[in-house]
A = this chain, B = another copy of it.
């Protein structure tokens, strides 16, 4: 991946459009940012090659694909050493229902955002993730009542039981 040569205001303007709607024709983008269409095309290509644009994806409504529950899980560990956390991280990576997973400072060690079809599925998920792992001290569950802002991906039969 090539080094990224400092983004200028044109790049930022293009990114701002693409992150809202990446189906916007380059011609329309060109007009909006006052550049020619080929210039826009060159910049987009470079933004992708340098990894500024990490991916182009469709955002799916979890509710409409049978996953009405969004749940936040705070995980508290005994030990943060990589070799002690590796098994858990591996299980997290394997669970499609886990949309996001951050390693964090503060009281908790991990914060997960998961999408599931039911509380029964959620309980099964927590058993698969945490049960029998001595390094997991405890976890705290917060069920989402709705989101004011969000945009992420959804597992479609690829992960745990949907």
Minimal beta-carbon separation of A75 from chain B (angstroms)? 12
- Is A4's CB within 8 Å of the partner chain B? yes
- Per-residue interface assignment for chain A, residues 73 to 99, with 1 indicating a CB less than 8 Å from any chain B CB and 0 otherwise: 000000000000000010011000011
Check if A92 sits within 8 Å of B21, measured CB to CB: no
A59 vs B154: C-alpha distance when bound (angstroms): 15
Interface size on A, residues (CB 8 A): 61
- Per-residue interface assignment for chain A, residues 124 to 135, with 1 indicating a CB less than 8 Å from any chain B CB and 0 otherwise: 000000000000
Measured CB to CB, the residues of A under 8 A from B are 4, 7, 12-13, 15-16, 18-23, 50-61, 64-65, 70, 72, 89, 92-93, 98-108, 111, 140-154, 156-158
